Structure 1
Amino acid sequence: MRLEPLLLFLAFLLLDVSGMAPGITFGDSGELAAAGANLSVAHAPGYPLHALLAKAFGSAFPWGGWAYRTNLLTAVLTAACLAVLASALRLAGLSRLSRIGAVLFLGLCGLWRHSSSVTEVFGLHLLALSAAAWVVCRFPDRLWEPRPAAAVGLCLGLGLANHHTLVLALPAVLWQAWQRRPSGTKLWPGLAAGLILGCCGMACYLYLPIRSLADPPLDWGDPTTIERFIAVLLRKDYGSFALTVDGGASASRWSQVPRYLGFTFKELGAPASALALIGLAGWRRLATPVTLGFPVLLAVLAGPFFLFLGNPPFDSQTSYALERFFLASWVGAAFLVACGLQTLSELSPRAAAALLAVPLVSAGLGLRSWSMRWDLAAYDYGRNILKTLPEKASLFMDGGDDTFYSLAYLTQAQAMRPDLRLADRGGLVFRSPYGPDFRGLSRADKEGRRLAVETPLAEAGALFYSTLKDALLPGYALAPVGLLRKPARSGGLLPPDPWDFYSLRYSEPLLERHYRHRALVALYPVMTAARLAAQGKTLQAMSELSLARSLGPDVPWLKPVVGRQLEVLGFDAVQRKDWVSAEAAYAAVCELDPGHLKAWRNLGAVYWNQARWRPAAEALAKASGLAPEDRELAGLAASAARRAGP
């Protein structure tokens, strides 16, 4: 029995390493690896404990790049979490078969497998939660005593120094402590011990101003004053309850409950969900001092209540970002799954044992959608950008976390291209070239400051942008150069086309499963289309845009970008009197956005110029229907219909 946690740890660690990413991946991976490598301040709330632990682990394990080391750290943390959870389930009175089964259902689900293979803060978050649950199960009747209370406080405090959402576990701990308190017990010694040790754990946040004063390469929010420190701590740039800066409109708060239940059912599967319900019904028959409220509150507060509180929108970007947050609630659900297995084993031991094969088979069948072993797409993306930039160039990034973080890792942790000057136009991620007061300026003053800094660089021919916009700098067109754009005046020379030197390695199953893969890989054909459009190759450019849409059908930024490029293609084709290409471009805009008045009108004009009166009448009638107050448009539609005849 003593070997059980160790064996589980080693088994899951081996599995984690076998599917571990070889380097950076999409998302926060590059930033967190860079923050660990050079002890920087990551995005709010800074994740100080993760940065310190990553630095210590990466220094003690000096093999491979920093991303490989921090990926390995995640593998160790998540494997340790499952071992600690199994030990907690044993302390709660659950049999070996039931606790191993619960750990298998949790640790082999696709989301857990994926999260165990990449650099993220959730491995440490889950370990802190499991450690707190272990203390609760070890001292279920003594949580008001100073030592157990101090242990729980330290677990939660350290966990909060990594991820704020661990505070949602506190009500479950307090419920257990209150329900099982011995009569006559003094509460204040335990409260004091828990509070003091919790504050000691959260003291890791002092890392933020201390490191920020040293001017690290990444310094989100520059938390060197009390005001800026609080802004970083409370995630003011995001909104304290928001998961991303962008996102669609929020829906009804109650719609978050079926959202959580649906995704949980999809990931954990029908057998685990059924076992959790059986465990919920049969918990009171279990000979355990752990109250039912403890696992239920863990599951509910870290799951549907968290969603109810933040009420995040249902767009694909936010939905994908949400997935990792469900893992903490599933730690609570694992208690119920274990109880369900134990209840079933009392009725039919063979049936309960047979159920252990379900997560094993499921993990094997889903291997290609969660294994990150050959995921090189984010690394290739960052390297491709570096290949695009000539010596001593300046790259200003106009949004895009994957651009920020992949380049932060490659240039700071891997020391590639020290000749480059990198900046983000928001003045958040890299050292701001706009001055220390930039973040406090008004929108208009910020734009003025940007122009003052960027215009001389453009005049010197050293400026490149990473952007999806068509214009940023007055007087300059943004010419496509590989994945980037370069401000250029008419007739100016551009660098050689870098596409032949690019590498793009991605997995179709990962593309299908993971939103961030789709959102980034779709950028390649979009930028290829921009290059072809600049060469007047309208139909080839449209083919690339169609490919982009097929790669990222649910990517929010893609539809407006593709629509805008198609409009430009149509306009340029009209200028050349290439009516076939113009028709194809405007028809594609109308298909993409049936409510696009201007596109229908332009399509009608293209048909009109070809004297194709029937389709002209139909297109202009569509446009007139979208703008019934426009009498001129109605007259054109009627005129085209008369010319078309009966």
Structure 2
Amino acid sequence: MSIRTTLKRLDAFAVLSFLIPLFLYLLTLAPSVTFFDSGEFITATASLGAAHSPGYPLFINYAKPFTWLPFGSVAFRVNLATAISAGLACYGVYLLVTRLLKDEEIPGNFFRTARGFTGLCAAVTFAGTARLWLQSNHDKPYPLLAFICAVVFYLMLLWRESYDRGEERPSYVYLGAFLCGLGTGAHQIMVLMIPVYGWLIVSKNWRILFRVKEFLLALAFGILGFSIHLHLIVRALQKPLLNWGDSKNLTQFLWNMLRKGYPTVKPDRDLGLLWAQLNAFNVPNEFTVIGLALLLLGLLTFFSRQRDVVISYLIGLGSFFLVIVGYFNTPRDLIFLTEEFFTPLYLLSAVFIALGTFYLVQELAARLPAAWAEQRPLCRALLSLLMVLPLTVCLLHYQENDQHENYVAFDYASNTLKSLPEGAVLYTWGDSGAFPLWYVQGVERMREDLDLLHTPHLVFQWYLDAFPKVFNTSRLRSIPPEQIAPEDAVFVSAAEQIVKRPVYIDFSTRYSVQFSQFQPHQHGICYQLLPASQPLAPPDLDIWQIYSLRGVLGNDLFFRDLDTGKAIQIYAAAHMEAGETLLKMGFAQGLTELAAAQRIQPDLAPEINKLRQGYGVR
């Protein structure tokens, strides 16, 4: 077949449904590590290890080949892998839309491009949603999961069509089952999509439930896909750089898979909390109110045409809400973490928004004079109006997701590491306070002489095993995890280390734990633990001279993630604390520090003015 023939057969709309979203994500791609789980995922990928429970082995193995690219940092390469998976998820929307519309008729010259153009608009609309975009400009497993969910849905549609033709092909179901098992290696919420796929099968003929042989074969293929989790055991035996949970045996493997390391205390739910939890799935926020209207229109108009497909979407809503809202019962301050779980539902929502849009096109075409409907330029001009929604969604969410100059997390980590003395130990608290440091030290190989200890993990034996030189003879090894809190564990560990080496804590640890037996001496955005009896010394101001503050000064960042803003606030709060300490000790340099805090965070002006007035300074 010639290249010209191949190009003629190429579906331009399909190609664009992948390339346009990818172009958007490359424009806004983070150049390095970001906050939240970013540093952890990149470190796990670079070392082929395991991220936090349940390990994410599929995403890690998918992204690993990208780390071999000859350009950019390792973080950039993993971010690129995520952008490509997000582009594929958008292509998945196009695939579903055009498949569901393949039998729909439309008069005149509309039919030549209406289906493909509607699918393309749906793909770009999904690409511009705040949820997918936020997950696509840095390392995240959810876009990959969304693509797999779309492919399985597509396979179920193919199976239904083969069943209607009387030439049923169970291979579609077997492949779908394999991908469902495999998808759990991206995230366990893949399980919540199984009722959706199950309905697409059973709604054709409920007697299929009694096909024991085929059911067992599908289950076997699902288990085969799920075997991607053997990665956790195999790699744990190799002791990779990041080995969360250390799944070297069945006990640790189940501890990891069942997420035993997370708190289980549930809040008392009231109507306000329930509404906040439900609102984690927010179609108007992602697609605008017009998108919500088109979604409802698509569900209503296609209920009579493809009832089972519409019902499958509603089953998905029920499945996700019952588990994520009902069972998880997430505390109010952590609800934002569950927003990512709904990505597969947003993908299906984009599909039904496209169906609603196509219905409007059908109605418009039916009402146009016959002569007008045959005018190809006019039809194309009218179809171009469909781009209003995707353009609106993209413009609404572009600025807040543009991370192409986001070096805040990388600088925060490198500033911390390069300011510490040789051989020191640093205790961290909170994912965003620890994960960028893990990446910068473990992957970028900066300050490997330091020991970075994550305070919440000091209660786990598998974590102590990862630092044999530090904890070989530690008292922590003899204390069962259920009998000690992280706050007490850091006291024990710090007391053991302080007689051997300099001990430091990060800003979050400083204000998460009361160090009554130590005196925290400010060292930029870190603190050195000194004996409580030692006289108070002025903060070390020379540290600020070696800090890189890209994106911190100027307040021109619009990132959605909360911890980027928190990092900037930490810089400002550290300056402010140093200024107050210096003024208390009678040093005029305190005014300079207060001014620096106000430059970083102008809204601190009232509080800073009160401090000035308190020390008699106008």
- Category of TM-score, reference length = shorter chain: 0.7 to 0.9
Distance, in Å, in 2 between the alignment partners of 1:582 and 1:145 is 81
**Residue 6 of structure 2 aligns with which residue?**
none
Identity across matched positions, percent: 21
Distance, in Å, in 1 between the alignment partners of 2:262 and 2:604 is 25
**Residue 302 of structure 1 aligns with which residue?**
320
Q: Does 1:418 align with 2:460?
A: no
Matches within 5 A, 1:435-474: 437=477, 440-444=480-484, 450-466=490-506, 467-469=509-511
**Residue 274 of structure 1 aligns with which residue?**
293
Query: Are the counterparts in 2 of residues 256 and 308 from structure 1 also a CA contact under 8 Å?
Result: no
Matches within 5 A, 1:186-585: 187-239=211-263, 250-252=269-271, 254-256=274-276, 259-260=279-280, 263-286=282-305, 288=306, 291-302=309-320, 306-315=324-333, 318-348=334-364, 353-397=384-428, 399-425=429-455, 426-427=457-458, 431-432=466-467, 433-434=470-471, 437=477, 440-444=480-484, 450-466=490-506, 467-469=509-511, 475-489=517-531, 490-491=534-535, 497-506=542-551, 508=555, 510-511=557-558, 513-537=560-584, 581=614
Label 1:352 to 1:257 Cα distance change in 2 as closer, same or farther (>3 A): farther
Label 1:107 to 1:471 Cα distance change in 2 as closer, same or farther (>3 A): closer
Distance, in Å, in 2 between the alignment partners of 1:340 and 1:109 is 18
Shift of residue 545, structure 1, vs aligned partner: 7.7
Query: Are the counterparts in 2 of residues 303 and 326 from structure 1 also a CA contact under 8 Å?
Result: no
Superimposed CA distance per residue, residues 538-559 of structure 1 (whole angstroms, 9 cap, x where no aligned partner):
9857778888987799xxxxxx
Distance, in Å, in 2 between the alignment partners of 1:73 and 1:338 is 27
Superimposed CA distance per residue, residues 274-333 of structure 1 (whole angstroms, 9 cap, x where no aligned partner):
1001011101344x5853212232344335763233222333xx2432332232211121
Aligned length: 554
Which amino acid in 1 is paired with 2:511? Answer: K
Matches within 5 A, 1:51-130: 51-59=60-68, 61-93=69-101, 95-130=115-150
Label 1:323 to 1:352 Cα distance change in 2 as closer, same or farther (>3 A): farther
Shift of residue 258, structure 1, vs aligned partner: 5.3
**Residue 597 of structure 1 aligns with which residue?**
none
**Residue 623 of structure 1 aligns with which residue?**
none
Distance, in Å, in 2 between the alignment partners of 1:193 and 1:442 is 42
Unaligned 5+ residue runs, structure 2?
A: 1-8, 103-114, 366-380
Label 1:512 to 1:93 Cα distance change in 2 as closer, same or farther (>3 A): closer
SS in 2 for 1:498: helix
Distance, in Å, in 1 between the alignment partners of 2:317 and 2:20 is 26
Distance, in Å, in 2 between the alignment partners of 1:438 and 1:93 is 64
Choose from 40, 57, 77 the match for 2:49: 40
Select between 346-355 and 43-52 the one with higher mean Cα deviation.
346-355
Q: TM-score, normalised by structure 1?
A: 0.77
Label 1:124 to 1:19 Cα distance change in 2 as closer, same or farther (>3 A): same
Distance, in Å, in 1 between the alignment partners of 2:451 and 2:284 is 47
Distance, in Å, in 1 between the alignment partners of 2:524 and 2:483 is 30
Shift of residue 237, structure 1, vs aligned partner: 1.6
Label 1:551 to 1:66 Cα distance change in 2 as closer, same or farther (>3 A): farther
Shift of residue 478, structure 1, vs aligned partner: 0.5
Query: Are the counterparts in 1 of residues 14 and 120 from structure 2 also a CA contact under 8 Å?
Result: no
**Residue 373 of structure 2 aligns with which residue?**
none
Label 1:305 to 1:332 Cα distance change in 2 as closer, same or farther (>3 A): farther
Shift of residue 391, structure 1, vs aligned partner: 1.6
Query: Are the counterparts in 1 of residues 571 and 597 from structure 2 also a CA contact under 8 Å?
Result: no
Label 1:550 to 1:159 Cα distance change in 2 as closer, same or farther (>3 A): farther
Query: Are the counterparts in 1 of residues 14 and 116 from structure 2 also a CA contact under 8 Å?
Result: no
Superimposed CA distance per residue, residues 510-533 of structure 1 (whole angstroms, 9 cap, x where no aligned partner):
446432222222111222222223
Query: Are the counterparts in 1 of residues 202 and 209 from structure 2 also a CA contact under 8 Å?
Result: no
Q: TM-score, normalised by structure 2?
A: 0.80
Which amino acid in 2 is paired with 1:395? Answer: L
Please provide the CA RMSD for this pair: 3.5
Distance, in Å, in 1 between the alignment partners of 2:493 and 2:280 is 46
